[in-house]
């Protein structure tokens, strides 16, 4: 099932950009009349047929549309410190998109070794993972934010949690969140959140949780939190 990302789609026709036209006609060798799928990344999945197989400006005609395709039954926001090695963070983005996530906010924490990210590049990874896993919702990735600013802004989540390893005997994440409620989970950098950061979160209504009895790397914690939240919600 070939799926293309078409955020600007409107009406019954769509012209693929030059690079996607080339991919479609030259690489995939699709022809006049062949079927493909388009998504706007906002829940619409369009079935379309090739009306002009020009390899530079392929034109497709929409045949039918599914709205809210694969709509998730709850909202998941993961705020996470990007890893020093950006590949590990990119891996997290790919896996979280496959498993299912709505919003990702990169955090700048006291112990962050990586201070900046290239949102454009990360966005491409999200688009590619969305297409690969046949989803019609593109996760939102925000600009990197200092931890304190993020904590101070208002968050509507039913379950606001901070995952860390600074103490044992924290309640398990899967017992704190409940089916159907929106979830916000904070995950720290290599070296974890500082005690001051954890306290700030606790004072702002976050609950501290444990994601696993194992010591997990940042990007593994992100994937594990994502899967746990989906599992609790029957996804």
Shortest separation between residue 173's beta carbon and a copy of itself, angstroms: 10
Shortest separation between residue 182's beta carbon and a copy of itself, angstroms: 19
Per the listing, tokens 């709505």 go with 102
Contact 31, 43 (CB under 8 A): no
Residue 228 sits in the site that holds a copy of itself (CB under 8 A): yes
Q: Using CB under 8 A, which residues numbered 171 to 200 contact a copy of itself? A: 172, 174
Residue 223 sits in the site that holds a copy of itself (CB under 8 A): yes
Shortest separation between residue 92's beta carbon and a copy of itself, angstroms: 11
Residue 218 sits in the site that holds a copy of itself (CB under 8 A): no
Supply 150's token pair: 């993020």
Alpha helix segments (H runs only) across the chain: 18-22, 86-99, 119-132, 147-152, 173-176, 195-203, 218-232
39 SS3 class: strand
Q: Using CB under 8 A, which residues numbered 132 to 151 contact a copy of itself? A: 132-135
Contact 141, 122 (CB under 8 A): yes
Applying CB under 8 A, among 44, 105, 161, 220 the residue interacting with a copy of itself is 220
Shortest separation between residue 50's beta carbon and a copy of itself, angstroms: 24
Cα–chain-centroid distance for residue 188?
Answer: 17
Q: Residues 94-113: x/- map of binding to a copy of itself (CB under 8 A)? A: -x--xxx-------------
CA-to-CA distance for 117 and 129, rounded, in angstroms?
Answer: 19
CA-to-CA distance for 59 and 67, rounded, in angstroms?
Answer: 22
Binding site for a copy of itself (CB under 8 A): 70, 91, 95, 98-100, 132-135, 172, 174, 212-217, 220, 223-224, 227-228, 230-231, 234-235
């Amino acid at each position: 099932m070939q799926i293309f990302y078409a955020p600007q789609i409107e009406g019954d026709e769509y012209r693929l950009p030059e690079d996607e036209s080339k991919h479609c006609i030259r690489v995939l060798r699709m022809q006049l009349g062949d079927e493909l799928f388009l998504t706007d990344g906002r829940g619409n999945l369009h079935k379309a047929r090739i009306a002009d197989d020009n390899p530079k400006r392929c034109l497709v005609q929409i045949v039918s549309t599914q709205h809210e395709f694969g709509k998730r039954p709850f909202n998941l926001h993961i705020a996470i410190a990007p890893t020093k090695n950006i590949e590990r963070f990119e891996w997290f983005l790919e896996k979280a998109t496959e498993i299912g996530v709505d919003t990702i906010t990169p955090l700048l924490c006291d112990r962050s070794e990586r201070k900046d990210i290239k949102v454009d590049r990360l966005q491409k990874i999200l688009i590619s993972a969305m297409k690969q896993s046949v989803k019609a919702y593109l996760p939102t990735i925000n600009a990197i934010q200092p931890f304190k600013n993020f904590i101070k802004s208002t968050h509507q989540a039913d379950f606001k949690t901070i995952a860390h390893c600074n103490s044992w005997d924290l309640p398990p994440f899967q017992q704190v969140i409940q089916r159907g409620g929106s979830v916000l989970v904070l995950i720290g950098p290599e070296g974890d959140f500082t005690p001051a950061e954890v306290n700030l979160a606790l004072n702002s209504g976050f609950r501290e949780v444990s994601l696993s009895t194992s010591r997990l790397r940042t990007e593994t914690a992100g994937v594990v939190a994502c899967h746990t939240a989906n599992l609790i919600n029957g996804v």
